[in-house]
Amino acid sequence: MRLRFGHAACVAVLMAATAALAQSKPVAGEVAEGSLKGKTLTFVSYGGIYQDGQVAALKEFVDKSGVKLLNDGPTEIAKLQAQVESGNVTWDVVDTDDLPPYVYCGKLFQKLDLTKLDVSKIPEGQVGECSVPAMNYGVVLMYNKEKYGDNPPKSWADFFDTQKFPGVRGIDGSGSPTGGLLEQAFKVAGGDPKAMTVADIDKAIDVVRKLGPDTIFWKTGAESQQLAESGEADMLMMWTGRAMTAVKNGAKYAPAWQDWLVVMDQMTIPVGVKDTDASYALLNAYLGKHAQEILAEKTSYTPINNDAQPKVDASVSAYLTNTPERQKQGYKQNFKFWVPNFAVAQEKWSALMAGN
């Protein structure tokens, strides 16, 4: 009997220890029952099916923690800056493009305390000082199958070669320059993207400019999709989600995956939020396996939890970017270069966008 009692005591101690450990060490996707009752969190993202999918992914978190989740958007760094400067931050968790958390780390976005998050399942190299990934997708070269027939473009070098591949090009003109595209353009100009300097940005932009006056700079993802579906552009740089939808809708386009540009939306906590721990709890829940599966199923974007196995049909899975093959083909922009040179690049890119 004594022994039994000892056993039980042992188990009890062990369980208590585990519980204590669990409390100090967060597990992605988990939140304590009722822990945020009476609290409100405002989550900011880009709207559309993307934010709907994120909200669906967070439903479990909301139900369990008892938090009231408000949605706002779209993310505008200028708006966030105004909130931080006035000391009245109403955005608790913000989804951003890939560069801002690096450019404004510590100024607009909090440096993350990684003891409050379980980042063990996030794909390698994606956790930043001020952000965790929100999802992955890609920018991919899509080409008109009928136009190019047996000799399709295979790389960005072909995209920039209007001699060998005549036709109208469509480029992301929605605002900020795509670092990866400029690096590919710089390669065409004979440079080495790894050793890029500020002066080289002009060389890269010149390559884009040389595509000529027929080049279409699309302003929205919807427009890029529409350009493929109507066949107006022969080669397009497209976000994978839009590429998939266009093909689903009957666009006779195919992807050239070589050097597709890796894009990672980011999740951040602004400086000056009222309840930092509540924001962390949301982030941690968002990173969970189940949440990421729901997100991928609703949006077709690639989950950022290595264990996630979303159930998607073939048309969607063809555009997921986390397969070993795609990971090998992907091209990651030179972050170290673009972060400090973000403003210069933006200025030069804007001049191109304004017809200069």
**Site residues (CB under 8 A) for another protein?**
76-78, 81, 173, 175-176, 213, 216-217, 219, 223, 226, 230-232, 343, 346-347, 350-356
The nearest distance, CB 228 to another protein, in angstroms, is 12
The nearest distance, CB 220 to another protein, in angstroms, is 8
Give which of 264, 16, 256 is closest to 142, Cα–Cα.
256
For residue 117, what are the contacts with CB-CB under 8 A and spacing of at least 6? 26, 28, 132, 280, 283, 284, 287
Q: What is the DSSP string of 42-102?
A: EEE---HHHHHHHHHHTHHHHHHH-PEEEEE----HHHHHHHHHHT----SEEEE-SSHHH
Q: How far is CA 212 from CA 73, 93, 167, 170, 178, in A?
A: 35, 41, 10, 11, 19
The answer to whether the beta carbons of residues 137 and 242 sit under 8 Å apart is: no
A 10 A CB-CB count for 205 gives: 20
CB of 202 or CB of 277, closer to another protein: 202
The nearest distance, CB 100 to another protein, in angstroms, is 10
The nearest distance, CB 353 to another protein, in angstroms, is 6
CB of 223 or CB of 307, closer to another protein: 223
CB of 1 or CB of 78, closer to another protein: 78
Task: Identify the three-state secondary structure at position 161.
Answer: coil
Q: What is the DSSP string of 100-149?
A: HHHHTBTTTBPPP-TTSS--TTSPTT---SS-EEEEEEEEEEEEEHHHHT
CB of 84 or CB of 287, closer to another protein: 84
Q: In the chain, how long is the greatest CA-to-CA distance? A: 89
CB of 323 or CB of 350, closer to another protein: 350
The nearest distance, CB 178 to another protein, in angstroms, is 13
CB of 217 or CB of 331, closer to another protein: 217
CB of 40 or CB of 226, closer to another protein: 226
The nearest distance, CB 251 to another protein, in angstroms, is 12
The nearest distance, CB 356 to another protein, in angstroms, is 4
165-171-175 Cα angle (round to 5):
165
